[in-house]
C-alpha cells in the first residue's frame, strides 16, 4: 500500500503537518497541498474519524452511517444467527432427536462451506452487473427461507441439503457488504466501521445462545416442536423484514445510486471523496490487469494470512461441545457460557479497530491480536488438569477474531484504486479460506476424540503463528514498495483517477444539457 500521508511534528506551534494528495482533473495536475492540523483535531479524528472533517462532510458521513452501517450491522447479525444456530441446536436436543453420529455434526459445516465457496466469486462478479440493493436482499430472503425449512427436517441428510443452500445464498453477504463499505468510506474510515460491522456477528452468536436458552425453557414442546426447531423458525422469520429494508437502504455505489435517501448533494460529496482517496467504484479491469493480479503477491499472501485466520478461529466454536462432554453443565449453561467469549470478542474487536487507526497501520494490531489466541491454543494443547485454566484457554481464543475485519480493510486499502481487483481479491481470500475450513474440521475435530482433539490444538497454534508471520512479511513488502525498492504493480492510480474524472464530467455535461 502506497503511503500518501507524511506527518511531521512542528515544535513551534505544536501542530501536525500533513501532506495529502488531492484529486485534479488528471494525474498530471494533481498537486500536493500542505495543511496544518492541531494535535487536538488529530486526537478527535482517532476517537471518531469524522470529527476532524468539515461540517458538510461530517453530515454526509453521519447520513451514510445511519443508513448503511445500521443496515449492514443488523443484516450481518441476522446472517450469523441463520448460519451458526446449528451449534446451539445441536447441544439443545437436535443431536439426540435426529440421531447424529460419527462425523455428521462436522458435515453440517462442510456442506454449508461447500455452498459458500461455490457462491463466493460468482457473487462478486454478479455484483458488478446487478445492483447490490437487489442482489444482496434477494439472497437474504432466500437463505432466510431455507433456515425456516430446517425446522421441518426429519433426518440429517435433509439438513445437509438445506445447509448447502444456506451457505450458497449467504456467500453474497460478507464480501458484498465489504464492497459497499469500500465504495462509501475512505481508508481512514474503514477500520473502525469494518470492525463495528464485525462485532455484529459476535453479538449474534451471544444472542443465539440466550435465545436458545429462552426457547428451551419456554417453547420446548409447544405445537409439538422441540425448542431447537423453534430457533430455526424464529431466525428465519426475522430475516424477512431485514431483507426488505435492504432493497431501500443499500445505496449501491455513488455514481449510480438510486437510493431514495441519497440526493445529488450527497453524490457530489461522495464523488469528491472518491477522487481525494484515489478510489473507483466503476468497472475498469482489463484482462492484463487480471493476469497481473494473479501473479502479484497480494492475492497469495493476503489469502494465506486469511486462511490461517479463518481456520484457526473455528476452534472456539467447539467450546460448547467441550462443556457438553464434561457432563457437569445444564443445557442453559452450555448455551450461555460461550457467550462470555463473544462478549470478550466484541470488546477486543473494537479495541483492535481504534488502536489500528491510532497507530496508522493494520499489521501491528493484527500481529498483536494473534498473541492472546496463541497463548490460548498453547493452554488447550497442554490441557492442564484445571477447569479454570481450560476456561481461560477457550476464552483467549475469541480475542483474535477482529483481526479478520482488519485484514479485509487492509486488502481494500491495498487495491483501493481498482474496483474489480478489490472485489476479486476479497472474494478469492474468502473463498480459499473457506475451502480449507470446509475440509479441515473433519480431520481436526473427530467426534470420537472430543473434547481432547489430538491434532486440533497444536495445528491451531501453528495457524495463528503463521498468520502473524505472514502479516509481518506483507508489512515488509509494502514498506519496500513505499521506498521504491520493490515495484508496486497493484495500484492503478492514473487510469482510475482519469476514469473517475471522465464519469464526473459526463454527469456534469448531462446536467448542463438538461
Put the strands of the sheet holding 31-38 in their side by side order: 6-10, 15-22, 31-38
With a cut of 90, say whether residue 396 has pLDDT above it.
yes
- How far apart CA 88 and CA 43 sit, in angstroms, is 42
Q: What is the pLDDT of residue 15?
A: 43
- How far apart CA 247 and CA 294 sit, in angstroms, is 34
**Segment 116-137 mean pLDDT:** 88
242 in Cβ contact with 75 (< 8 Å): yes
Total-model pTM: 0.76
Report CA 508 to chain centroid distance, whole Å.
36
Strand, coil or helix: 10: strand
With a cut of 70, say whether residue 420 has pLDDT above it.
no
* pLDDT tens digits, 257-301: 889 999 999 999 988 887 776 555 555 556 666 677 777 888 899
Report CA 100 to chain centroid distance, whole Å.
31
Q: What is the pLDDT of residue 187?
A: 75
- How far apart CA 453 and CA 430 sit, in angstroms, is 26
Q: Which cell numbers in the block locate residue 455?
A: 491434532
Beta bridge pairs of residue 10: 15
- Say whether the peptide bond before residue 451 is cis (omega within 30 degrees of 0): yes
- How far apart CA 492 and CA 289 sit, in angstroms, is 9
Give the 3-state secondary structure percentages of the chain, helix then strand then coil, rounded to 5: 75, 5, 20
Report CA 270 to chain centroid distance, whole Å.
23
With a cut of 70, say whether residue 50 has pLDDT above it.
no
Q: What is the pLDDT of residue 42?
A: 63
- How far apart CA 180 and CA 133 sit, in angstroms, is 10
Q: What is the pLDDT of residue 349?
A: 92
With a cut of 70, say whether residue 506 has pLDDT above it.
no
344 in Cβ contact with 393 (< 8 Å): no
188 in Cβ contact with 332 (< 8 Å): no
Q: What is the pLDDT of residue 148?
A: 95
What confidence category does residue 376 fall into, taking pLDDT thresholds of 50, 70 and 90? very high
* Chain position carrying cell 451457505: 167
Q: What is the pLDDT of residue 441?
A: 79
Beta bridge pairs of residue 16: 9, 37
Region class of 209: left (phi > 0), else alpha (psi between -120 and 50), else beta: alpha
* DSSP 8-state secondary structure symbol assigned to residue 490: S
What confidence category does residue 439 fall into, taking pLDDT thresholds of 50, 70 and 90? confident
345 in Cβ contact with 372 (< 8 Å): no
* pLDDT tens digits, 61-85: 999 999 999 999 999 999 888 887 8
119 in Cβ contact with 167 (< 8 Å): yes
- How far apart CA 86 and CA 204 sit, in angstroms, is 13
| Better-predicted residue by pLDDT, 383 or 507 | 383
The pLDDT > 90 percentage for the chain reads 40
What confidence category does residue 497 fall into, taking pLDDT thresholds of 50, 70 and 90? very low
- How far apart CA 90 and CA 225 sit, in angstroms, is 15
Report CA 4 to chain centroid distance, whole Å.
25
**Segment 158-175 mean pLDDT:** 92
* pLDDT tens digits, 202-227: 898 888 888 888 888 888 889 999 99
Looking at every residue in the chain, the average pLDDT score rounds to: 82
What confidence category does residue 139 fall into, taking pLDDT thresholds of 50, 70 and 90? very high
Q: What is the pLDDT of residue 488?
A: 65
267 in Cβ contact with 251 (< 8 Å): no
Q: What is the pLDDT of residue 1?
A: 37
With a cut of 60, say whether residue 513 has pLDDT above it.
no
Q: What is the pLDDT of residue 246?
A: 94
| Better-predicted residue by pLDDT, 56 or 447 | 56
Is the sign of the CA dihedral 285, 175, 259, 131 positive or negative?
A: positive
What confidence category does residue 482 fall into, taking pLDDT thresholds of 50, 70 and 90? confident
Going along the chain from its start, the domains and CATH numbers come out as 6-47 (no CATH), 55-253+288-496 (1.20.1250.20)
Amino acid at each position: 500500500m502506497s503511503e500518501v500521508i507524511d506527518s511531521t511534528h512542528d515544535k513551534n506551534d505544536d501542530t501536525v503537518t500533513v501532506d495529502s494528495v488531492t484529486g485534479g482533473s488528471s494525474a498530471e495536475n494533481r498537486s500536493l497541498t500542505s495543511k496544518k492540523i492541531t494535535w487536538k483535531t488529530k486526537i478527535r479524528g482517532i476517537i471518531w474519524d469524522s470529527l476532524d472533517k468539515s461540517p458538510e462532510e461530517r453530515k454526509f458521513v453521519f447520513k451514510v452511517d445511519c443508513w448503511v452501517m445500521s443496515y449492514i450491522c443488523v443484516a450481518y447479525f441476522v446472517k450469523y444467527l441463520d448460519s451458526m444456530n446449528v451449534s446451539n441446536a445441536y447441544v439443545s436436543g437436535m443431536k439426540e432427536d435426529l440421531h447424529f453420529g460419527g462425523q455428521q455434526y462436522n458435515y453440517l459445516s462442510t456442506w454449508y462451506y461447500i455452498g459458500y465457496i461455490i457462491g463466493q466469486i460468482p457473487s462478486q462478479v454478479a455484483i458488478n452487473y446487478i445492483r447490490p440493493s437487489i442482489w444482496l436482499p434477494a439472497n437474504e430472503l432466500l437463505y432466510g427461507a431455507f433456515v425456516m425449512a430446517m425446522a421441518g427436517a426429519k433426518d440429517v441428510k435433509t439438513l445437509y441439503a438445506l445447509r448447502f443452500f444456506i451457505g450458497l445464498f449467504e456467500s453474497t453477504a460478507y464480501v458484498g457488504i465489504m464492497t459497499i463499505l469500500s465504495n462509501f468510506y475512505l481508508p481512514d474510515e474503514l477500520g473502525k466501521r469494518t470492525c463495528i460491522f464485525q462485532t455484529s456477528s459476535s453479538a449474534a452468536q451471544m444472542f443465539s445462545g440466550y435465545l436458545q436458552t429462552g426457547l428451551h425453557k419456554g417453547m420446548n414442546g409447544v405445537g409439538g416442536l422441540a425448542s431447537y426447531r423453534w430457533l430455526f423458525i424464529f431466525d428465519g422469520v426475522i430475516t424477512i423484514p431485514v431483507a426488505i429494508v435492504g432493497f431501500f437502504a443499500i445505496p449501491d455505489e455513488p455514481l449510480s445510486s438510486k437510493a431514495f435517501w441519497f440526493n445529488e448533494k450527497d453524490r457530489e460529496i461522495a464523488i469528491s471523496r472518491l477522487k481525494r482517496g484515489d478510489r473507483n467504484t466503476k468497472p475498469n479491469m482489463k484482462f492484463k490487469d487480471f493476469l497481473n493480479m494473479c501473479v502479484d503477491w497480494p492475492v497469495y499472501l493476503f489469502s494465506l494470512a486469511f486462511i490461517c485466520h479463518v481456520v484457526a478461529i473455528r476452534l472456539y466454536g467447539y467450546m460448547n461441545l467441550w462443556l457438553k462432554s464434561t457432563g457437569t453443565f445444564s443445557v442453559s449453561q452450555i448455551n450461555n457460557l460461550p457467550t462470555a467469549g463473544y462478549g470478550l470478542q466484541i470488546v477486543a474487536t473494537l479495541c483492535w479497530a481504534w488502536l489500528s487507526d491510532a497507530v496508522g497501520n493494520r499489521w501491528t494490531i493484527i500481529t498483536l491480536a494473534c498473541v492472546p489466541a496463541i497463548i490460548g491454543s498453547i493452554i488447550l494443547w497442554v490441557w492442564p488438569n484445571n477447569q479454570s485454566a481450560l476456561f481461560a484457554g477457550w476464552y483467549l481464543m475469541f480475542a483474535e477474531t477482529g483481526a479478520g475485519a482488519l485484514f479485509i480493510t487492509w486488502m481494500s486499502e491495498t487495491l483501493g484504486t481498482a474496483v474489480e481487483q478489490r472485489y476479486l481479491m476479497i472474494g478469492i481470500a474468502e473463498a480459499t479460506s473457506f475451502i480449507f475450513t470446509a475440509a479441515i474440521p473433519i480431520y481436526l475435530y473427530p467426534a470420537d476424540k472430543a473434547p481432547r482433539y489430538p491434532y486440533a490444538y497444536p495445528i491451531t497454534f501453528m495457524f495463528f503463528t503463521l498468520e502473524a508471520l505472514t502479516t509481518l512479511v506483507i508489512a515488509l513488502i509494502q514498506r519496500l514498495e513505499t521506498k521504491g525498492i520493490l515495484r508496486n504493480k497493484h495500484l492503478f492510480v492514473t487510469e482510475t483517477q482519469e476514469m473517475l474524472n471522465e464519469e464526473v464530467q459526463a454527469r456534469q455535461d448531462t446536467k448542463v444539457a438538461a
